[in-house]
Chains A and B, each alone.
Chain A
Amino acid sequence: MAAEDNDASIALVTGAASGIGAAVVARLTGRGWKVAGVDLRGSETDLPLVADVADRGAVREAADRAARQLGPVSLLVSVAGHYEMFPVSEIGTERWQRMLSVHLGGTRNACAAVLPAMLEAGRGTIITTSSELALGGGAEDAHYAAAKGAIIGFTKSLAAEVADRGVRVNSVAPGPTDTPLLAPDSPWRDPAFLQTLPLGRLVSPEEVAETVLFLAEEGSYFCGQVLSPNAGAVI
């Protein structure tokens, strides 16, 4: 299903201002989708909306505004998140809860905001963003991996719950990706680390966006799946 093939071509993308989210916006826009972008700052989208995804009310308001101004949202791509590395003993309660509230809570809030209308329409696609670290684990990533793993369980369950009402839910689990989330001195950019990856390089945001686009437009037979563009980080 390409956007130009039907009139239900409105997408809501969270984390739309940079990195994977911005690449998803660019790819969708290039295919004819109208995109409302949610982020902590303005995004280069048809409808930039500033909101914290951890704020349930703000996300609902953003989704409502997207529907009013652009039309019924038929695609949600939930990307918003942040990344930080700490040994488990240095992750305090505040960091733990913030990680869960942004990643799992943000995904939950975005799904809760768009799902009722999708179910009423009997059609819709939701794509969440997990991580290769949730599949294989990674030292000093306890809170990040836990939150991203929770997104996988959430995605599979929601997919099973709403598939028979016309809504497909899937997830992408990128490997280390060349985005602003990886600081210049990030160990994930270390050539010694990259050499351990079967493909020997970071994934590009555009490659993750291509995976998202596939799930959105062509993968009508994917339900509750986790696609992991990860340069072989987890095989």
Chain B
Amino acid sequence: MSPDPEGIRIGEALPLEGTVALVTGAAQGIGKATALRLAADGAIVAANDREPSEALEEVAAGCGGFAAAADVSDPDAVAQMVALIGESLGPVGVLVSNAAYMSMGSFTEQDEADWWRQVDTNLSATFYLVREVLPGMRRLGRGRIVFVSSEWGVVGWPNATAYAASKAGLISLGKTLGRELAPENIITSIVAPGVTDTPSSRSTPATPECRSKR
């Protein structure tokens, strides 16, 4: 029997043509690469970053969507951003929660506000984003949610208690939403990259130090 020339259909692939994708932290690094990759597959990408910038505008211009500057750790700003995307592009069908803040330091000495800022930006912001995009995904009858966690969320790291906490929390949140939302054809997944060659990692002086700690 000859193979089916159409190929064997294993699962239902989400057609990205015309799908609105929101990528946070998209001005550089993993977020930028993700936004451009989704756009290459036909998605209309809303590229988010904390502040308006030339870099963000360039990414947005390459994605066929627009730049959506907002501080994702602010629940009101997230609500306004998602509403604006909905009015301008349509409901978000793909959410990639990638924006992150990292500040390494000794647990006993680190500034508490800086400690919590990492949890707010990396973990709470993801909850705010999911909450705001869910109604649109439900109207679409489908959705894909991807959290960008970290290897450090899996194994922990010295002098990174807040960062690792936030990224481990994302893994547990992702598993929970995976169970809760899958029956609605809203699929949640998590990627946990190791140390990645991005502008953030290049500008983090603690990276070589924490390597030597191990």
Contacts and interface: CB of A to CB of B under 8 A. Distances in A.
A208 to B, nearest CB: 19
A158 interface: yes
B156 A142 contact: no
Given A100-B119, A150-B165, A154-B165, A88 B180 contact: yes
A207 interface: no
A87 B164 contact: no
Contacts of B75: 93
B127 A138 contact: no
Interface string A128-171: 00000111111111110111111111111111111000000000
Interface residues of A, number: 46
Contacts of A112: 107-108
B77 to A, nearest CB: 12
Contact of A137 (B152, B165, B176): B176
Contacts of B119: 100, 104, 150
Contacts of B128: 93
Interface core residue of B166, B176, B180 (most chain A CB under 10 Å): B176
B173 A160 contact: no
B160 A104 contact: no
Nearest to B157: A157
Interface string A62-96: 00000000000000000000000001110101001
A158 B152 CA distance: 12
Interface in B139-185: 152-153, 155-181
B176 A224 contact: no
B165 A153 contact: yes
Contact of A139 (B152, B180, B214): B180
A55 B138 CA distance: 38
Given A88-B180, A143-B127, A157-B165, A149 B172 contact: yes
Contacts of B170: 146, 149
Interface in A99-123: 100, 104, 108, 111-112, 115-116, 119
A153 B131 contact: no
A119 B171 CA distance: 30
Interface size class, chain B: 35 or more
Interface string B100-124: 0000001110001001000100011
Interface core residue of A104, A134, A137 (most chain B CB under 10 Å): A137
B165 A104 contact: yes
A97 interface: yes
A104 B118 CA distance: 13
A56 interface: yes
B39 interface: no
A115 B108 contact: yes
B169 A157 contact: no
Contacts of A159: 156
Nearest to B168: A153
B134 interface: yes
Contact of A142 (B157, B159, B161, B176): B176
Given A89-B131, A150-B166, A139 B176 contact: yes
Nearest to A156: B156
Contacts of A151: 165
Interface in B170-210: 170-181
A134 B172 contact: yes
B89 interface: no
A173 B13 CA distance: 36
Nearest to A96: B127
Contacts of B152: 153, 157
A138 B158 contact: no
Interface of B: 75, 106-108, 112, 115, 119, 123-124, 127-128, 130-131, 134-135, 152-153, 155-181, 213-214
Interface of A: 56, 87-89, 91, 93, 96-97, 100, 104, 108, 111-112, 115-116, 119, 133-143, 145-162, 224
* 3 cross-chain pairs, A with B, having the tightest CB-CB distances, nearest first: A149-B172, A156-B156, A153-B168
14 contacts: A104-B119, A108-B115, A115-B107, A138-B179, A141-B176, A145-B172, A146-B172, A150-B119, A152-B172, A153-B152, A153-B161, A154-B168, A157-B163, A160-B157
